[in-house]
Amino acid sequence: MTTPGGLVLRLPSPLTEVRDDRLGGVRLFLKRDDLIHPELPGNKWRKLKYNLAEARRQGRRTLLTFGGAYSNHIRATAAAGRHFGFATVGVIRGEEHLPLNPSLAYAVSRGMRLTYLDRTAYRAKQDPGVIARLREEWGDFYLVPEGGSNACAVRGCAELPAEVDAQLDELGHPGFDVICCPCGTGGTLAGLSAGLAPGRAAIGFPVLKGGEFLAGEVERLQREACGRSWPNWSLRPEFHFGGYARRTAELDAFVDDFAARHGVLLEWVYVAKMMYGIFSLVREGAFEPGTRLVAVVTGGPEVAPDV
């Protein structure tokens, strides 16, 4: 797919089957959204697609968003601004540290201007007073929330299930039963659920400790985007491995083993935790034999985590 701005995106993203004796009678397909574009991988393009269109519709020339010092979302927003003709501002959690780390240096190389909020102020980033002060400094920007999750993002992610269906149809498969994704802010899960045909289910794997709170976020995002919510999704919050950007030797061993078996190096902050969870649920008998699962690979391993 080539966008109006001339950006070549690999859409539909590849769909490949994982053949692994540990799956028993369950069939598992990887939706390789990490291969959409090197600068807009994973769910980043799907979340930004309609936000970019809405910013242009409103006549805004600047995108402002929030993130940590290693945020993949900050990188992707900077790249999207460069490709689609927007100025970009990144509001970074914490104090400035020079020289910039590779993630922030990359964002600056794509034209993003950076500003910083201490952690106390950052927690209040949605406060109207904080937004007003940012508008005084940066002008009439289009606000993209942290992680990119809003109604526009839900619309973009809701397109993914139909894309998978078309690919499975081409392969002669009868469709899928369950679609899985890792969760940080809930936007991807909200969209996948909204885009499902009847009789199917979506499972989200929160990467934050205490990720149960995302249930309220998913429902809020669905209502904001679609005026209703769906009961076809669930969360499995027990596979966080200690919390966001935390890892254990067990998770590392799983990543290494998966790479050796399948030639795919899983990004460990999000994707590996989902995949570990899927294999654990299969082992526990959570899926009937013959169940067809799709796992959305929302990012690649090349970018450092936001700690």
CATH of 15-38+152-296, one of 3.30.70.20, 3.40.50.300, 3.40.50.2000, 3.40.50.1100: 3.40.50.1100
pLDDT computed for residue 42 by the predictor? 82
Would you list the DSSP string of 27-79? EEEEE-GGGS-SSSTTHHHHHHHHHHHHHHHTT--EEEEEE-TT-HHHHHHHH
pLDDT computed for residue 5 by the predictor? 62
pLDDT computed for residue 304 by the predictor? 37
pLDDT computed for residue 1 by the predictor? 64
The answer to whether the 15-38+152-296 and 43-148 domains have the same CATH topology is yes
First to last CA, the chain: 34
CATH of 43-148, one of 3.40.50.1110, 3.10.28.10, 3.40.50.1100, 3.40.50.620: 3.40.50.1100
Q: Which residues contact 186 (CB under 8 A, 6 or more apart)?
A: 149, 204, 214, 217, 218, 221
pLDDT computed for residue 307 by the predictor? 29
Long-range contacts, stretch 137-141, CB < 8 angstroms, 24+ apart: 138/62, 138/64, 138/89, 138/113, 139/62, 140/60, 140/62, 141/60, 141/62, 141/63, 141/64, 141/89
Give the separation between CA 67 and CA 125, rounded to whole angstroms: 11
- In the predicted model, residues of the chain with pLDDT beneath 50 are 303-307
- Domain segments of the chain as ranges: 15-38+152-296, 43-148
